Structure formats: C-alpha cells, structure tokens
Amino acid sequence: MEKYHPQKESQIEQHFIRHLEGLGYAYCKDIKDRASLEANFRNKFEALNNVRLTDGEFERLMGNIVSSDVYKASKTLRDKVEVVHDDGTTRFYPLVNLQNWCKNDYEVINQLRINTHSSYHRYDVIILINGLPLVQVELKAHGVSPRVAIKQIVDYKNDHENGYEHTLLAFMQLFIVSNEADTFYFANNPRKALTFDEKEQFLPVCRWADEQNKKVANLHEFAREVLRKCTLGELISRYMVLVETERKLLIMRPYQIYAVKKMVECIENNSGNGYIWHTTGSGKTLTSFKAATLLKDNPNIAKCLFVVDRKDLDKQTREEFNKFQKDCVEENTNTGELVRRMLSDEYKDKIIVTTIQKLGLALDKKNQRLDKLRERFAGQRVVFIFDECHRSQFGEYHRAIRDFFPRAQLFGFTGTPIFAENATRTKIEGREASALTTEDIFQKPLHTYAITHAIEDKSVLPFDVSFYRLQRDGSFDTGNVPKKIIVEKILEVHDKVSDNRRFNALFATASINDAIAYCKIFDEIQLEREKDSTYKPLRIACLFSPPAEGNRDIMQIQEELDQERQDNQVDPLGKKEALRRIISMYNQTYNTLHCIEEFDRYNSDVQQRIKWQGRNEVTKEQKIDITIVVDMLLTGFDSKYLNTLYVDKGLQYHGLIQAFSRTNRVLNERKPFGKILDFRAQSADALNTAVELFSGERDKSKDAAKIWLVEPAEVKVEQLEEAAQGLRSMMESHGLKPVPEEVPNLRGDAARANFVEQFKPLQRILIQLDQYVDTPPELQARIDAIISPDERQAFRTAYLELARELRQKRAAESADGAAEPTTVMQDIDLELVLFASAIIDYDYIISLIARMVNEAEPERREVTREEIVALLRSHSNLPEDREDILEFVCHPEVINGRTAGEISDEFCRFREAKWHRQLQELAHRYGVDQEGLSEFIESTLHVMRYDDSHLSDLFTDEGLGWRDRVTKKNALRADLVPLIRLRAAGQTIDNLPADV
C-alpha cells in the first residue's frame, strides 16, 4: 500500500504518472494537443514499419484509419491498414505490433486538449501504445465518487462533434476512473452502448480483483496489477471481445480472465480435465466463447465442441457466440449436419455448438458414418466444453463421449456444482455404490467465482427471502397454505414487491396439476375483482411442457424437467387439454395464434414477453406480470426485469440456488435485491443448507449467509434514522431548520451539493424499505416518525428542483468553451434513477386529471391539482411531458366533464398546438423557413440521427457571412435540441448534442 496519499486531483495525477514511469512508460509532457498527438503517432508508425511517409501519404493514412465509429476503429487496431504511396503502390501495415504487444512503445501523457468546433475537452491521463491513445484515466479528488468521472466521460462522448470522433481518440479501448482509493474500469463503446443516466440502462463497470477475488481498489495497486506494459497489452489484445452483431466492445471481468487462462494452460500442458465454478449470471457464455476462440488457433486441437443439454440452450448459445463473432458457429439442423461438421477440416467448423442428445445420436452404433468419425478422430485431441455441467453429463451420453474420444479433454461450466451432499445419481464400482460428483467427472476445479463473490462484487444481487405459513386466524405463520389464500396474498403484495409492476415475477409450483389449478384460481379471483372498474388485473401466463408422445423435441426439453416428465405420465390427455385451454387464453390476451402442436413457438413467445418488461416501446398490455411454472425457466433463463420468485414448491441444493438466481440480475438502484416469497415451510432449512454448500468457502458459510441475504427491515430502519439525522445536522449547520421548504435557502454550490450527498442515501434506504414485504405496523409507524410521507415527498421535490438547477448551470458552464466547470459542479452525482417511480406514468397522471376535472367540490378539485403538481415535481419520470402537463392542468375549464380518454386526446391537441407555436417562433427568430425547419426535425426523428451539417442549409440568406452563420447556427441548435429531445419522447437519437 502506498504511504503517500495526495488529496488534490492534480497531485494524484502527478503521483500516478510517476508510478507509470516506474513501470517503464515514457512520460511525454509536450503532447498537449491534436497536432503533437498526431506527430508522435506518425513517428511511432514509421519506426514500427521501417518506412518514411510523405505528408500526403500520412494524410491518406489518417483518412483511412480515423473514424467516428469506435467499433470500426477497434477492428482497424487489430488489423493491417492500407497506405497508398505517392508512387501509386499500395501496402498494408500494422498500427501496433500484433504478434507481441510487449514490444510496442508505451507512453503516458496528461492534460491533452482536443478542440473541435463544438467542444473543448481536456483529458487527465492517457496511455499511448505505439502512439495510439488506447487508455484514458479520469481522476477525481479524494471523497469524490468515481461515478462522477464515469458521467463526465459519457457526457464528453455525447457532446456534439466531440474529441472522440474523427481524431485518434477514436481508438480508445479502455476507460479507468479513480479517486485514488477506489478504481474502476470499463470498455469504450458507441453512444448507444455507453449510457449512464437516470434511465434504466446499466453500464457494465468492473473492479479488478486477484485470483482469489480480493479486490484491488487503490489506484497504484491497480497500476501494478493491470497497467504493467505486457499485462495491459494482453488485456486489450486477448481479453476484449468485439461484438460484431451489436458493433460494441466488451472487456472480460477478472474472474473470466483467470478461468480462460486456467483452461488454456490445462490444454497446452495436456493436463487432464477441469471445471469452472462461476455462479449463475456471471457471464459463463462469454468466458467459454473466449476460451473456444483461443483454442480455434491451437494446431494441436482437432475440434472444440461446446455441449449444452437443451435445444433452447443450443439456439441461445449459438446466437450468443455468433453475436460475439458473426457466423463463427453454424446451426446443426439435424444429427447428419452435426456429423458432417465433425468430419469437416474447414476452419469455420472447428468450433461446434450442439446438444448432448445430438452428440449422443452421432456416436450411436446405428449411425452409418460412425466408422468415418472413429477414423477421423483416431489419436486426435478434442476439447469438450459442457455448459451447466451439473446436469446431463451424469448420464449415458457422457460415458459414450469418453469412450469414443480417448484423448478428449473435458471442461465443465457450472454455477452449482454437484457435491456428495447433493448428488442424485450413482456410479457402481464393483459392488460399491457411491455418489457421483462434478469433481468425479471433471477431476479438479480450475477456478471458482461463487455467488458469495458475485454478490460482494455487485455482479449479482442478494436475496430478500420471506417465508409464509398460515395460522388458524388466517394470518401467515404456521401450517399448510391453501392455494386460494396464496393467490390472494400474491395479488395483495405484487404491486409492492414489483415496484408497481416495473418488474415481473415467476411463480414456481410443485406439479403440473398445481400450475393448472393456480392458473384457474388467478382467473376466477381477478374476474371477480374486475367488477370494480378501478382494479387493474395482473397479466398471468403459464408455462409447462406437454406430454411428449414420441415428440423428440419435447422429450429433449423434458430430460432435465424431472417433475414435468413424471407428471405427464399420469392422465396425459387431461394435461394436454388443460395446456390447450391455457394457450387459448394466452392467445386471447395477446392476440397470438399459438397451439400445443408448436409448443416451441409458445415457449419462445412467453420468454420474450417476460424480457419485454423493461422495454418502453412495448405497451403494458403486451407484457407479462407473473408466469406460473413447474420446472421450466427455473434454470438458464435470464431477465434483468424479473425481480420476484413466488414459491409453492419444494426446492433444495442446486435446484434452490438456480431458481432463486432467476431474480438477482443487476439493473440499477430501483432493484436492490431479488425477492423470494416462499409458501413452503421446509424451504428455510433448505436455504441454510444451500448457503453452506454453495458459498464457495465452506468454513465461512456463516458469514456467507450475511452476504447472500439482505439485512432485516429493522436494521434498515436504524440506517434510516442515521441518514435522517445526518440530513438534519447538515441543514442546521447552515443555520436552517431541517425542513424541506428551507432547502432553497441553502447558499452556494457547496451547501447545495452537500444537501444532494446527504439526501441520496436516505432516499436509497427508503426505496429498499418500500420493497420489503409485510412490514409490521409498529415498524411502519417508526419509519413514518423518522420521515413522514408528506415530508419525504417535499424533500424529493426540493431535491429534483435543485438537481434541475444544477444541471442547467453545469450545461451552461460546459457550453462556454473558455470556462472550466467549477469543481463542485463537476463532482455532483445526481443519481436521478432513485427518484423514478414506475407508477407515476402518463396514464396515471391523465387519470388524476380526469378525477380533478370531475370533482364536484372546488376544494377537492384544488387538492387533486396540487397532488398532480406535487407528484410531477417529486419524481424524475415524464421529463419530456412535465412542463406541458403542469401548464395543461392550470386550465381545467377546457376539459371539465371529460373522460380520461378524451382528456388524453385533448392533451395531445394542446401539445401539438404548442409545438407549432414554438416552431413558428423559432423560425421567425432566426430567419429560417418554418417548413424547412419542420422537415429537418421530422427527418431527424425518422432516422433517429441528428445531422448538424443539414442545419446550416436552413440559412439561405446569401448576405450572411460565415462567422455570423456559425453564430446563428449555434444559437439555433441550443434552442432546437431540447425541442427535438421532447419530440423524441425519451427515445435515443444518435449524435444529438448532450446537455443543451
């Protein structure tokens, strides 16, 4: 650990540069602008390729390689580039030493400024590899969150004509942010993939760790671990993945890198088999893809087969592999196609993704080409990578593979290994029977990243588990729970646990008969409740497999669906008819045409609708709130917007962890944990057993339980008291009463920033408390005594008003190229996602307006109007509509007596009329044609891309000089961009200037 801890950002920067010099970097203090950066790159390029370029040749080279497309530049970095010489010849040269990245020149520069027409950004520290800026390090002073640096980078990239476009900065691969004590890194990406705002989009940010998953947070420790020249070169060249179909970059997390290294080392040394224990949700597909692609170029390996155990996972994995690298894996439409590709010597057929069932058929004695396969692989080394290796590899297929490929190396990936305690199948050795474990088959663990590690890393979420039993008086505590009471309980709590239907849920039932019964009960109870016109029914789907009846696809699906396979053997006709009715109801709800004969399509549609939960462009009517299941979806299914699992099913060991883990994908602060509502009494003991077994460190299993499970609500209330006291003390320290109406009286940016930092943790705790189920009345009274609902809303309003002012001030400072934003303005992280509510949406506000205009009493009408205003001001939802709605509700006389639908139509007309007035005013103010201005906006919205060059075309006055034209254009842009953003209604528009 470094003894010297400078406080100021400039001191941290100089200390960091000295550290890099100690690691062998050359400090180029004279590179401060675009010209010197390009001159240095030219020297390095010429030295690498032993060539001298004329000015014309270098200009053509720059024209070929510099792009606004990060993905294109990243591809160029890893390839050779064309140079057209003055004599007409064309040659291809590498930009860096691709064979040995250690032999490139590594330099460090600081305070580089790239000035463009619209931005004047300055960058703290940049690492150059062979003259190319590949790593940017943004530093903050002690005590300032690195999130602020992340937001700054994203804002820089969103600025119009920013320095990352059409300059060498387009080659940037990696961003590092640090306040010296805390350090994170993330990959550069196009704007669409690099979002960091109050919307529900998650920017993957990594923290480095050693092989034992000990975090490396200090900047200088990070430099020693990651920024050594050869290590950094390897990280960029081997452990970044260019996702071709999405044209974006991924950087692997440390545990993924260690796992790949262990696998490759094991294969290179031909040292047997092994398995990777990486918890569910940790990105096993990316890890296996990288391992497979590195093996593709190993001449000692004849084939690499990635083996899954279900048809849907075959498709999912193939699509994931091809997403990373287009057409790198082809579909095996049948067993014959698989055999053809196994016999093929073509490079594209070296990696094969297949199901274990197809592989088993390929190796069956009935296969006519079995001898050709045996001849093809005689003496050949073949690598098998098994996904979810806690499942089918324990059967006959696995034994057949080992017998047929004696020189095969087998590697397994699992989130829940099979230990002696949870082994369910046996091996017979002589007369003795013993449990068959993951280690029995795969010999040894190569790397472990258990769920305990992932929760600590915030790669996945912890769990909030509530156990329900029923007492004689009808309350939940002890005894068996009737299905109707369970359904009523679910309907009672679902809006709360789902954050007002922002998220959705699975309901795991014990059998197909139970799933059918629950489906019927939900339908009956909701039908009765719909007699109340204010009730909004939950959208319920049900998914279980039909009787196979010889259908190979269904038989394959059911291989790992033990309960469903067993259930379908009893009264198969009854199960089939019930599923027909369920699919028919589904068709009526979603206007689809599914049938039981094409179960795959129905299954895919249900999964897709669950995943649509987070898509704003999909209406609520097309989404699913709760999906009733038996075995399906409880393993291998991922959705960030699934946050709750209702359980009326016995779960244990790996089955319990797999099922619970459907809920714990990370999204943002609105999803603090995965929620489990368990109506089975025995699951409490099963959970404790699973924690002990799968913590990854059995001797620390007691501590692991604290990591896996969220703190009790009582502990959160204590934290709330502490946060509330901190807020009050802060207000009093500025001579103000600790009440919301005094917040506007805070003087100076520092005081207002202090309020922001004090209120955020309080709001975060309140969000978490809102999502606890069945908070006891006495505890709720304690919460309300700490901060009442009215006080909470008033503080939220004060916060958002202050946030709006600070953002406007920051935008104004950023727009002034000559002025540096104040430190306070730079260092505020507003985290507006903490103030977005799923229920305060457009429909909800319109319903309140309808209630307001139809109130008979003027006093109640005014109360409702004030409620609407307060809601809009205390939530960060509807930023595009907020001002229009506030203006609209001030004139209720024009909509008195109207229905909600009529009011919505009237509001649309009101907004459209206002839009045309604004357009007319803009055109008049800047002397441009109104029709041309309207066409520019509509064209922008049609292609969802802003083209600033077309804005110049609106100024047709020939007497306007170029300087005046630029001034007018910039002024028009400043007024126009907010209107375009409003018109886009939250959709992302490429190249639209940020913070205007």
Structure tokens at 59: 């200009």
Does the residue 989 lie in any domain? no
Q: Are 134 and 96 in contact (CB under 8 A)?
A: no
Q: Are 469 and 713 in contact (CB under 8 A)?
A: no
pLDDT at 68: 84
Provide, rounded to the nearest whole percent, the portion of the chain with pLDDT above 70. Answer: 80
pLDDT at 233: 94
Identify whether residues 728 and 868 lie together within a single domain. no
Of 395, 417, 449, the residue that ends a domain is 449
Q: Which DSSP state fits 622?
A: G
pLDDT at 354: 81
Q: Are 537 and 526 in contact (CB under 8 A)?
A: yes
How many other C-beta atoms are found inside a 10 Å radius of the C-beta of residue 307?
28
Mean pLDDT, residues 433-444: 74
User: What's the pLDDT tens digit per position in 804-849?
Assistant: 777 666 655 554 444 444 455 455 565 655 555 444 455 556 666 6
User: Which among 725, 644, 638 is positioned nearest to 678, based on CA atoms?
Assistant: 644
User: What's the pLDDT tens digit per position in 655-681?
Assistant: 888 899 999 888 877 888 899 998 875
427 pLDDT band (50/70/90 cuts)? Answer: very low
- For 829-886, the three-class secondary structure string (H helix, E strand, C coil) is CCCHHHHCCCCCCHHHHHHHHHHHHCCCCHHHHHHHHHHHHHHHHHCCCCCCCHHHHH
Instruction: Tell me the HSE value of 595 on the side-chain side, using a 13 A CA sphere.
Output: 3
Q: Residue 92: beta bridge partners?
A: 82
pLDDT at 813: 55
Does the residue 775 lie in any domain? yes
Indicate if the pLDDT at residue 495 is higher than 60. yes
Residues 6 or more apart in contact with residue 277 via CB below 8 angstroms: 414, 415, 417, 445, 447, 448, 449, 450, 696
pLDDT at 426: 41
User: Which among 911, 905, 875, 906 is positioned nearest to 892, based on CA atoms?
Assistant: 906
Q: Are 874 and 538 in contact (CB under 8 A)?
A: no
**Top-confidence residue, 451 or 507:** 507
User: Which among 627, 657, 592 is positioned nearest to 503, based on CA atoms?
Assistant: 627
User: What's the pLDDT tens digit per position in 89-115?
Assistant: 999 999 999 888 899 999 999 999 886
Count of structural domains within the chain: 5
Indicate if the pLDDT at residue 541 is higher than 50. yes
pLDDT at 943: 73
Among the ranges given (303-312, 380-389, 624-633), the one the predictor scored with the smallest mean pLDDT:
303-312
Indicate if the pLDDT at residue 169 is higher than 90. yes
**Top-confidence residue, 891 or 89:** 89
pLDDT at 821: 47
Structure tokens at 692: 């002990």
Does the residue 964 lie in any domain? yes
Provide, rounded to the nearest whole percent, the portion of the chain with pLDDT above 90. Answer: 35
Mean pLDDT, residues 473-486: 64
Of 643, 677, 707, the residue that ends a domain is 707
Structure tokens at 578: 């019930």
pLDDT at 721: 94
Does the residue 456 lie in any domain? no
**Top-confidence residue, 416 or 274:** 274
Indicate if the pLDDT at residue 474 is higher than 50. no
pLDDT at 835: 52
Cα 97-98-104 angle, rounded to 5 deg: 30
Identify whether residues 468 and 444 lie together within a single domain. no
Indicate if the pLDDT at residue 330 is higher than 70. no
Does the residue 992 lie in any domain? no
The segment with the largest mean pLDDT, out of 158-172, 585-599, 709-723, is: 585-599
Does the residue 19 lie in any domain? yes
Does the residue 991 lie in any domain? no
Identify whether residues 777 and 903 lie together within a single domain. no
Identify whether residues 930 and 852 lie together within a single domain. yes
Of 429, 449, 469, the residue that ends a domain is 449
User: Which among 91, 67, 89, 68 is positioned nearest to 81, based on CA atoms?
Assistant: 91
How many other C-beta atoms are found inside a 10 Å radius of the C-beta of residue 323?
17
> pTM score > 0.85 for this model?
no
Identify whether residues 265 and 287 lie together within a single domain. yes
Integer CA distances (angstroms), 120 to 33, 184, 814, 818, 963, in order: 11, 25, 9, 8, 19
**Greatest CA separation for the chain:** 101
Indicate if the pLDDT at residue 76 is higher than 50. yes
878 pLDDT band (50/70/90 cuts)? Answer: low
Indicate if the pLDDT at residue 161 is higher than 80. no
Identify whether residues 770 and 794 lie together within a single domain. yes
Identify whether residues 243 and 370 lie together within a single domain. no
CATH number of the domain residue 555 falls in: 3.40.50.300
Residue type at 771 in one-letter notation: Q
Helix crossing, 882-889 with 842-853: angle to 10°? 10
User: What's the pLDDT tens digit per position in 37-73?
Assistant: 999 999 999 999 999 999 999 999 999 999 888 899 9
pLDDT at 818: 42
Cα 852 to Cα 2: distance, rounded to the nearest angstrom: 63
pLDDT at 482: 85
Q: Are 167 and 34 in contact (CB under 8 A)?
A: yes
Residues 6 or more apart in contact with residue 402 via CB below 8 angstroms: 408, 410
- Mean pLDDT score of the chain: 81
Structure tokens at 211: 């092989």
Distance of CA 17 to the CA centre of its chain: 33
Cα 865 to Cα 407: distance, rounded to the nearest angstrom: 76
6 pLDDT band (50/70/90 cuts)? Answer: very low
Give the domain range for residue 72. Answer: 9-250
Structure tokens at 178: 């640090």
Does the residue 946 lie in any domain? yes
Identify whether residues 833 and 853 lie together within a single domain. no
Cα 122 to Cα 959: distance, rounded to the nearest angstrom: 36
Residues 6 or more apart in contact with residue 990 via CB below 8 angstroms: 191, 192, 944, 945, 946
Indicate if the pLDDT at residue 201 is higher than 50. no
pLDDT at 819: 44
Identify whether residues 154 and 246 lie together within a single domain. yes
User: What's the pLDDT tens digit per position in 907-939?
Assistant: 778 878 888 888 888 888 888 888 888 888 888
Identify whether residues 483 and 438 lie together within a single domain. no
Kindly report the length of the chain.
996
Q: Are 324 and 241 in contact (CB under 8 A)?
A: yes
Residues 6 or more apart in contact with residue 633 via CB below 8 angstroms: 506, 543, 607, 610, 627, 662
Indicate if the pLDDT at residue 314 is higher than 50. no
User: What's the pLDDT tens digit per position in 962-975?
Assistant: 677 777 778 888 88
Identify whether residues 425 and 512 lie together within a single domain. no
Indicate if the pLDDT at residue 196 is higher than 70. no
Backbone torsions φ then ψ of 473, nearest 5 degrees: -80, 5
494 pLDDT band (50/70/90 cuts)? Answer: very high
Looking only at the bridges linking them, the beta strands covering 303-308 and 382-386 are parallel
Given the structure tokens 């394959």, which residue do they identify? Answer: 556
Integer CA distances (angstroms), 215 to 138, 208, 587, in order: 20, 6, 50
pLDDT at 803: 73
Given the structure tokens 């009345």, which residue do they identify? Answer: 777
- Taking the alpha carbons of 657, 660, 666, 668 in that order, is the dihedral positive or negative? negative
**Top-confidence residue, 598 or 654:** 598
Identify whether residues 658 and 800 lie together within a single domain. no
pLDDT at 786: 93
Among the ranges given (1-10, 148-157, 435-444, 941-950), the one the predictor scored with the smallest mean pLDDT:
1-10
Q: Are 305 and 385 in contact (CB under 8 A)?
A: yes
Q: Are 262 and 446 in contact (CB under 8 A)?
A: yes
476 pLDDT band (50/70/90 cuts)? Answer: very low
Cα 445 to Cα 425: distance, rounded to the nearest angstrom: 20
Among the ranges given (231-240, 254-263, 851-860), the one the predictor scored with the smallest mean pLDDT:
851-860
CATH number of the domain residue 53 falls in: 3.90.1570.50
